[in-house]
Amino acid sequence: MHRLSVCFIASALVLATFVPHTTAQAQISGPTTRQLGGHTFVPSGLIADPFIGTYLRTTTGAGKALNLQLPLYNLEGEPLDTLSGDLAFFLLGLEYQQRLTKWLALRVGASGAARLGTDYLSMLAEGVSAIYGGEIGATFRLVEGRKYLLSAGAEARSNKLYSVSPLDFARDIIENGLTDSATALLSKGTNWRLAGNLRGAYAFAPWIGAIGILELGPATRVFADSTEGRNTTQVSLGASVSADLLPITRVPIGFAASFLHQSMNDKTTDIGGKQNTSGLGVFYTGRPDLSLGLEITHQRLRQRNVDSSMDITQARLLLRYDF
């Protein structure tokens, strides 16, 4: 992970050095930039923005789960005790958006995530899982002023999950014997999501602005839990505030603070409960077409089939280049 981070930062610095600055400014001038009222919005890995522009964004992240509760059962399936364990998470993402007109942009994206237990208890109970998927979407500009922008959009996403849980495998053998289903140690699952959204941005001053989003649409869980089926309605509500020190101090440093609530986590893990995620990022803002930074996120996620939540802390390297 350390080598990957070094290569990522080195590549971004090379890109920032050798792409002509004046040419890039000319390419992104006008209403397709991330600028309103003289403020260049700092991108967030949690909150999607409403801007109609062409860009490429990559995400690389890793983290750890805390307060993971692992229920312990006897051979009859009765709960005996609850143990604690740790999980490690890894995340990769790529997104490209293409501006077609001044009011319409289309985008495609792909992402993958993995989790695994870091001690013998969590490895036994939670095992290893990997989830990957892709999405397509469109953004339509509704109204724009000097300091504000409101867009609407639609997205479709699908994921596929592979999971290995030794404890579930052993419990299946105890309950059902060595049937064909029980001998399949590898579990597979899929989910999908369709969503319409509203996204808005407002620049309070050249150094500060805010973005808000609302998403709603039908979705499916990877697995049904003990109280709910697979079909559900996903609701996402979030906001971010970005501050850029460049206009007031000439220091090319920006900050982005974000919060996102989702009624279902559909993208980064098979633990598909509701989640609240907050993030704080520090970014390079010396060029209006390039953002490079580190974002730390904290996520509270309800565990599947367990009446408790766990805390996940991640560090994410974000790179965005606007063409």
The length of the chain, given as a count of residues: 323
How many structural domains are present in the chain? 1
Share of the chain above pLDDT 70, in %: 67
Residue 303 is classified by DSSP as P
| 298 and 311 Cβ atoms separated by less than 8 Å | yes
Which pLDDT score, from 0 to 100, does residue 310 have? 73
pLDDT at 18 > cutoff 50: no
The pairing of beta strand 290-302 with beta strand 79-99: unpaired
Which pLDDT score, from 0 to 100, does residue 173 have? 62
* Residue found by looking up tokens 């509701």 in the block: 274
Report the half-sphere exposure of 33 (CA within 13 A, side-chain side).
21
* pTM of structure: 0.78
Which pLDDT score, from 0 to 100, does residue 6 have? 42
pLDDT tens digits, residue range 116-132?
Answer: 777 666 666 566 788 88
Q: Which of 19-23, 46-50, 294-298 has the lowest mean pLDDT?
A: 19-23
Average pLDDT across the chain, whole number:
79
Share of the chain above pLDDT 90, in %: 44
Q: And the tokens for 137? A: 């979407």
CATH code for position 215: 2.40.160.40
| 153 and 119 Cβ atoms separated by less than 8 Å | no
Give 201-205 contacts, CB < 8 A, sequence gap 24+. 201/36, 201/41, 201/49, 201/50, 201/51, 201/148, 201/149, 202/36, 202/147, 202/148, 202/149, 203/36, 203/37, 203/38, 203/39, 203/41, 203/147, 203/148, 204/37, 204/39, 204/147, 205/37, 205/38, 205/39
- 286 is in which domain, residue-wise? 2-322
Mean pLDDT comparison of 40-54, 181-195, 223-237, highest-scoring range: 40-54
Between 317 and 5, the more confident residue is 317
pLDDT at 167 > cutoff 80: no
pLDDT tens digits, residue range 241-282?
Answer: 999 999 999 899 999 999 999 887 665 555 556 788 999 999
pLDDT tens digits, residue range 97-116?
Answer: 999 998 999 999 999 988 87
Closest CA to 139 of 154, 124, 126: 154
Which pLDDT score, from 0 to 100, does residue 30 have? 40
pLDDT at 174 > cutoff 80: no
pLDDT tens digits, residue range 42-94?
Answer: 999 899 999 999 999 999 999 887 666 666 655 555 666 666 667 788 889 99
